[in-house]
Copies of this chain bind each other. A is one copy, B any other.
């Protein structure tokens, strides 16, 4: 009985394949990812990945899960930056997270597209390890926003509404305006200065959502 999981040939192929995939997405774009390319980059034969991933969908999902770690970290970093500037009101915290959100979408635009592409991941067709990974890592991403939104609602229903509002706004913005070469969104007249900043967009929200004051400083987590 092995106390440590020490695979035989490669060492840790599963990890290597995920990293190879991230690199391919980064350098060649979201549509360039291929099972065989990942295998080649990891230095194994084209059919080797089958022993670690149920299929290409599983590999893609695992890459997305890994992307979520960077994504969540980007939001946490922005939150920490805001805290260093003493911007700790719920409104300021949520705004900071959105800035981190958009920052990730711009800095890792190919990965962002890859992650939030509508993929038909029949969760049933994904191996248990990867399925757990995506659930955990994507959940942690959402948890960052969820925590910051918490003080903005009193009941669970209210909080769900606030979360949906912020999440929709920032995600839509990222999709439509986040990437300079985005082909979605409104047809832009080649004037990138006509794109408002995420903070300008967020300013159009009614921040005193449901009676509570979003500007009160301090940690109001119950």
Q: Chain A: residues with CB nearer than 8 A to chain B?
A: 29-31, 113, 116-121, 123, 135, 138-139, 142, 146, 157, 160-165, 167-173, 175-177, 182-187, 194-196, 200-201, 204-207, 209
A121, A162, A172: residue with the most chain B Cβ atoms closer than 10 Å: A172
Residue among B31, B116, B121, B135 making CB contact with A120, cutoff 8 Å: B31
Closest CB-CB distance, A32 to chain B, in whole Å?
9
B204–A161 CB distance below 8 A: yes
Residues of B within 8 A of A31 (CB): 119-120
A117–B120 CB distance below 8 A: no
Which DSSP category, helix, strand, loop or mixed, fits chain A's interface?
helix
Closest to A138 in B: B187
Residues of B within 8 A of A29 (CB): 120
A119–B171 CB distance below 8 A: no
Chain multiplicity (copies): 2
Residues of B within 8 A of A157 (CB): 194
B196–A164 CB distance below 8 A: yes
Closest to A30 in B: B118
Cα A113 to Cα B117 in complex, Å, equals: 9
Cα A154 to Cα B98 in complex, Å, equals: 27
Q: With A167-B176, A172-B168 known to touch, is A161 a contact of B205 (CB < 8 Å)?
A: no
Residues of B within 8 A of A116 (CB): 175, 184
B171–A175 CB distance below 8 A: yes
Q: With A117-B118, A204-B206, A204-B209 known to touch, is A167 a contact of B172 (CB < 8 Å)?
A: yes
Residues of B within 8 A of A207 (CB): 206
Residues of B within 8 A of A183 (CB): 118-121, 123
Closest CB-CB distance, A208 to chain B, in whole Å?
9
